[in-house]
Amino acid sequence: MKKIIRKNPKLMPKPVGNYSHITRVPKGAGLIVTSGQIGTDMKGNVPKSLNDQITNTFANMKKVLESEGLSQENVIKVNIWATEEIDWDYFDLKWDEFFGDEYPSMTIAYISALGLHELKLEIEIWCAEV
């Protein structure tokens, strides 16, 4: 079985966070892309605090993966958008709980607003089915 390969080339600076510079997907793998996952609970409520939204977002990411028979190991790329400064100690805790030490490639951007005014975070995940 072919595997997803994650690496950080020795000729480059180390990543500034818990991510991989390169994620190589084997030839013939299926590509699954999700819409941005947000911090709503099952009733559609959006918590006021960013950390509570982070908790719900990771729970929703797990559910969307499971709905397609995937796991965190299938995630190859994560795009993160936040409207306020992220508490990195808290975020990294949730990130490491979710990914262990198999980090996908990642991009993060601070932006002025998301699709709903109460949202503070949105995470899009790209996956490979191998």
DSSP 26: P
List the structure tokens of 101: 């030490």
99-130, pLDDT tens digit by residue? 999 999 999 999 999 999 999 999 999 999 99
29-80, pLDDT tens digit by residue? 999 999 999 999 999 999 999 999 999 999 999 999 999 999 999 999 999 9
Domain residue extents for the chain? 5-129
Give residues with Cβ within 8 angstroms of 89, minimum separation 6: none
Q: How confident is the model at residue 2 (pLDDT cuts 50, 70, 90)?
A: confident
Question: What is the pTM (predicted TM-score) of this model?
Answer: 0.93
- Report the topology of domain 5-129: 60s Ribosomal Protein L30; Chain: A; (3.30.1330)
Alpha carbons 84 and 44: distance in angstroms, whole number? 21
Alpha carbons 113 and 46: distance in angstroms, whole number? 15
